[in-house]
Chain A
Amino acid sequence: MIVNDQKLPDLPPPASTTGVVGWLRTNLFSTPFYTLLTLVTLYVLYVTLVPAIQWAFIDADWLGDSRDACTSGGACWVFITARLDQFLYGFYPESEHWRVNTLYLMLVILIGALVWEKTPKKGWIAAFTLIIFPVIAYFLLVGGSFGLEHVETHKWGGLMLTLVLACVGIVASLPFGILLALGRRSHMPVVKSFCTVFIEVWRGVPLITVLFMASVMLPLFVSAEIEFDKLLRALIGITLFQSAYMAEVIRGGLQAIPKGQYEAADALGLSYWKKMGLIILPQALKIMIPGIVNTFIALFKDTSLVLIIGLFDLLAIVQAALADPKWLGYSVEGYVFVAFAFWVFCFGMSRYSQHLERKLHTGHGAR
């Protein structure tokens, strides 16, 4: 009798559960219903994506300076490339483009330094970005001093105006937001109710009505001698609106700080402003960064509404270019370009904020 007292070698898993076939079976064709769903989706994707890629890349025309260059029957990106200067700088004089470029470059470097995790002295860089950089940007863009030519704001436009609106909106609303949030959590009934009403009113109305209000009603509210230009009115409207949203984000951050921190600061005999400035806000602001980035994304998208009050941000300038008789009929190209520009910014920022959330979430959660 033969007895095998050795352990038999393990058989490999069935071929249908490993490798490409196994992956396909578990992820795409696990049940008849899923198989059907997969096939239908594949068909729909084939029908839509293939012509789209054909249109956008294979049959597209890229270079040229008039619509005669578009002969291949696909997308006419010439419309974008020929007008790219206008889309990036608006009607800013061409000889002064270097000023905008300098700011673009500075912004990229500063943001890069802030996002990169190993940068030393991040606090100082952040302070520079929030306080000194806007001042530099103001003098560079407006001009009129330091031997720079004065450029009126009605010549501003395109991506540059979009960035100006969004950045000013977020930077200016930060201090107001902090004050409003502190006020809403205050024990003084008058302060508390005032801040609550202020926040809820701005959060309850659409941005369009705020912009309308800023552009139509603001001139009525100040004495007739003071002239507001259109951009400044829009900025005031956006800042009022945004500071209410910012206040709610900051309130969320303040509530997340353990009560012990407040009590410890009180026990040390710190005054209210020292307690907030030295103990609470530094901790709260750090955990609020994802929330602030999220409101920035919302604001960035909302800046496109200024076209309704007659400012030429990126969307408005492309919309105006579409009405040019020389380029009629390229609306899809125009919209795809703007959509792509906004999408790159917003998607990048949302990824960053998700990354931060994951980093800050140091594992007390349910999962």
Chain B
Amino acid sequence: MPSDLKPGVAPSSKPKFWNDPDKRALLFQVLMVLTVVGFIGYLVNNALTNLEQRGITTGFAFLGQTSGFDILLSLVEYDSTHTFGTTFVVGLLNTLLVSALGIILATLIGFVMGVARLSNNWLIGKVAAAYIEIFRNIPLLLQIFFWYFAVLRALPAPRQSIEFGSAFLNVRGLYLPSPVFESGFGLVTIAIGIAIAAVIVLTRWNKKRQDATGQRFPVLWTSLAILFGLPLLAFLVAGMPMSLDYPALQGFNFRGGMTIIPELLALLFALSIYTGAFIAEIVRSGIEAVNKGQTEAASALGLPKGKTLRLVVIPQAMRVIIPPLTSQYLNLAKNSSLATAIGYPDLVSVFMGTTLNQTGQAIEIIFMTMAVYLLISLSVSTLMNWYNKRMALVER
């Protein structure tokens, strides 16, 4: 309104309500809520009619029913007489198992390859670069198939197993000797607990003393000595209360020891090699992000190369590395759901696959499965945000 713009004249009328940003925002939000609620209502209504038409029951009562199928690998006691609720737990534990193992392996591969990528040795650098560029540009599912169908399924039968000492590899999986704990092993467990506590106390004491006097104590070596020495001592004192159960060929298969099924091996290889390539790139960029002046300043202060790396470069690189590293860990956990393609009994495979087929209760099952992954993602990212805030550069 031009009259409003005259100098010295206060705007006489209030703007029309559709020109008032606050009111418009309110209107817009009310409309949005109505649309979303209406849309969800439409979906729910359709779902209810469709379910009724197809005669599918709703609700979570199916979790108490007997499942009636066996699972290849289970960390808790399970057979076909257990309930679908137990199936869910078994699947979840298997997902967590392969994710945890995968994260450890991928971190190892990633850090070694990331450092190797920056090596002064031309050949090592090129080999690491080739590894990174090859494996992160090939779909994970294909890599899982490759390890499972082309490598592990092509291994010889149990009678012609490949031997590594007392471990055997064949088409049925990897057979390893397993530890058998006898009475008196409790002493060793207690010793491990004491050793961990002692290391924590030692680290705190060292930090305090260094802050006060500037003197350093060789914490690393002492800690390692305590961590390994004390349990070993307890082990010997208790009269070596542990033996190994070796796998042995009996008839057509191996008995004794522990078995790692080929599905787990294939999934583990594929996940850790694929994610390792991404982690290697993260590690490389993290180390490169540390300003060269930092290294030079450290050597000007007279720090030896090892200490420069440990006290100056790595702490600063970690600040850059950790956020993307966590998202890679989450990716790995989510990607472990590809297990269903080769029949490793993870959550998606046994719950969203078999249980869904048997009960037909798609909505509840898919909702529960998604909720599990969402919960894992959200809790890890909350933890990470907290950590990030603690680690963030305090700028003045």
Contacts and interface: CB of A to CB of B under 8 A. Distances in A.
Interface of A: 26-28, 30, 34, 37-38, 41-42, 45, 187-191, 194, 200-201, 203-209, 212-213, 216-217, 219-224, 297, 301-302, 304-305, 307-308, 315, 319, 322, 331-332, 335, 338-339, 342-343, 346-347, 350, 366-367
A30 B140 CA distance: 37
Interface in B321-362: 334-335, 337-338, 340-341, 348, 352, 356, 362
Contact of B334 (A191, A205, A335, A350): A205
A169 B28 CA distance: 29
B121 A335 contact: no
A175 B104 CA distance: 39
B254 to A, nearest CB: 26
Given A42-B123, A339-B146, A208 B348 contact: yes
B33 A205 contact: no
Nearest to A45: B127
Contacts of B49: 223-224
17 contacts: A27-B123, A28-B123, A34-B120, A42-B123, A191-B28, A200-B377, A205-B334, A205-B374, A209-B337, A212-B366, A216-B356, A220-B47, A224-B53, A342-B137, A342-B139, A343-B138, A346-B138
B142 interface: yes
Contact of A38 (B121, B352, B373): B121
Closest 9 interchain pairs by CB?
A: A204-B377, A27-B122, A346-B137, A206-B334, A190-B29, A301-B139, A204-B374, A206-B337, A304-B139
B29 A37 contact: no
Contacts of A30: 120-121
Contact of B142 (A37, A212, A297, A304): A304
A335 B150 contact: yes
Nearest to B380: A204
B123 A315 contact: no
Contacts of A191: 28-29, 32
A219 B127 CA distance: 49
A27 B120 contact: yes
A350 B124 contact: no
A45 to B, nearest CB: 7
Contacts of B53: 224
B269 interface: no
A41 to B, nearest CB: 5
A332 to B, nearest CB: 5
Nearest to B377: A204
Give chain A's interface secondary structure class: helix
A217 B362 contact: yes
A208 B333 CA distance: 12
A360 B376 CA distance: 36
B291 interface: yes
A315 B145 contact: yes
A106 B356 CA distance: 43
Q: Give the one of B53, B123, B134 with max A CB within 10 A.
A: B123
Given A187-B25, A315-B139, A209 B369 contact: yes
B197 interface: no
A84 B118 CA distance: 40
Given A338-B142, A366-B291, A37 B352 contact: no
A28 B139 contact: no
B142 A335 contact: yes
A339 B376 CA distance: 31
Contact of A217 (B33, B154, B334, B366): B366
Given A38-B121, A206-B334, A366-B291, A307 B149 contact: no
Given A307-B341, A308-B341, A331 B137 contact: no
B196 interface: no
Contacts of A216: 356, 362, 366
A211 to B, nearest CB: 10
Contacts of A212: 348, 352, 356, 366
B373 A301 contact: no
Contact of A221 (B47, B289, B334, B373): B47
B121 A343 contact: no
A223 B149 CA distance: 41
Nearest to B40: A221
Interface in B59-85: none
Contacts of A335: 142, 145-146, 149-150
B352 A209 contact: yes
B51 interface: yes
Nearest to B134: A343
B4 interface: no
Contacts of A350: 137
Interface string B106-141: 000000000000001111100100000110011111
A343 B338 contact: no
Contacts of B120: 26-27, 30, 34
B222 interface: no
B145 A209 contact: no
Nearest to B360: A216
A194 B335 contact: no
B46 interface: yes
B36 interface: yes
A301 B145 contact: no
B324 to A, nearest CB: 12
Given A38-B121, A221-B46, 11 more contacts: A28-B122, A41-B127, A188-B25, A194-B36, A206-B337, A212-B352, A216-B366, A217-B366, A220-B47, A220-B51, A367-B291
A350 B32 CA distance: 39
B363 interface: yes
Contacts of A37: 121, 124
A305 B138 contact: no
B123 A339 contact: no
B121 A34 contact: yes
B149 A206 contact: no
